[in-house]
Amino acid sequence: MSRTNKPKVLIVGGGLGGLMLGGLLEKSGVPYTIFERVAKASPVGAGMLIGPALLPTFQQLGIYEEFLAIGKKLYCTNNYKESLEKYRPTDTTSIEDLTGYLHYVVARPALYDLLLKLVPADKIHFGKRVLNVTEKDDVVSVHTSDNGIYEGDVIVGADGAYSAVRQRLYEKLKSEGTLPPEDYEELPFSCTCLVGQTMALDPEEFPIVNAPDSQFLTVHGNNKPFTLDKQAGKEAAQQRFRNNENSCWGSIPAQSMCDETRNFRLELNDGKNRTMGDLYDLTPKELTSKVMFEEKVFKTWYHRRCVLIGDACHKLHPSGGHGAVTAMHDAMALANLIYAMPTRTSEDITRVFEEYKSERYPAAMDSYKNSKMMGKLIDSGFAGSFSLFLMTKMPQWMWRLVLAQTVKFRPQIGFLNRVPIKGSVVPVPSPSEKKARAVFEEQQQQPHHHGTVTV
Distance (Å, whole) CA 92 – CA 207: 23
Residue 123 lies in a domain: yes
Nearest Cα to 169, choosing from 361, 338, 348, 304? 304
Determine the Cα–Cα distance for residues 288 and 285; give it in Å rounded to an integer.
5
The predicted-structure confidence for 125-156, as pLDDT tens digits, reads as follows 999 999 999 999 899 999 999 999 999 999 99
Reported as a single tens digit per residue, the pLDDT across 80-110 is 888 888 887 888 889 999 999 999 999 888 9
**Is a pLDDT exceeding 90 seen at residue 180?**
yes
Q: Select from 123, 14, 59, 45 the least CA-distant residue to 288.
A: 45
Is there a domain that residue 385 lies in? yes
User: Residue 188 domain-assigned?
Assistant: yes
Is 22 among the domain residues?
yes
Sign, CA torsion 262/263/264/267? positive
Nearest Cα residue to 64 out of 119, 111, 14, 121: 111
Compute how many other C-beta atoms are within 10 angstroms of the C-beta atom of residue 72.
17
Q: What is the pLDDT of residue 231?
A: 41
End-to-end CA, the chain = 17
328-363 confidence digits (pLDDT tens): 999 999 999 999 999 889 999 999 999 999 999 998
Burial class (CB in 10 A: 0-12, 13-18, 19+), 382: exposed
Residue range(s) defining the domain that contains residue 329: 3-445
pLDDT at 45 over 70: no
Is 285 contained in some domain? yes
Q: Are 409 and 100 in contact (CB under 8 A)?
A: no
Average model confidence (pLDDT) across the chain: 84
Q: How confident is the model at residue 393 (pLDDT cuts 50, 70, 90)?
A: confident
Q: How are beta strands 139-144 and 130-136 bridged, if at all?
A: antiparallel
Of 252, 234, 235, which is closest to residue 291 (Cα–Cα)?
252
Cα–Cα distance, 244 to 253 (Å, whole number):
12
Does pLDDT of 32 surpass 90?
yes
Comparing 205 with 219, the larger pLDDT belongs to 205
Higher pLDDT, 427 or 315: 427
The secondary structure of 43-85 as a DSSP string is ----EEEE-TTTHHHHHHHT-HHHHHHH-EEE-EEEEEETT-P
Packing angle, helices 346-375 and 323-340, rounded to 10: 160
194-225 in b/e form (b: 16+ CB < 10 A) is bbbbbeebeeeebeeeeeeebbbeebbeeeee
Which residues does residue 291 pair with via DSSP β-bridges, in sequence order? 193
Inside any domain, residue 455: no
**What pLDDT is attached to residue 374?**
61
Evaluate whether residue 452 is within a structural domain: no
CATH number of the domain where residue 293 is located: 3.50.50.60
Question: What b/e sequence results for 29-53 when a residue is b if at least 16 CB atoms lie within 10 Å of its CB, and e otherwise?
Answer: bbbbbbbbbbeebbbbbbbbbbbbb
When divided into structural domains, the chain yields a total of 1
C-beta atoms surrounding 417 within 10 Å? 12
Q: Nearest-5° angle of CA 335, CA 48, CA 210?
A: 140
The answer to whether position 238 is within a domain reads: yes
Q: Residue 242: pLDDT band by 50, 70, 90 thresholds?
A: very low
Report the C-alpha gap between 305 and 345 in whole angstroms.
10
Q: What is the mean pLDDT of residues 176-189?
A: 83
The 3-state DSSP class for residue 139 equals strand
Which candidate, 450, 353, 455, places its Cα nearest to that of 3?
A: 450
Among 27-36, 43-52, 282-291, 389-398, the least confident range: 389-398
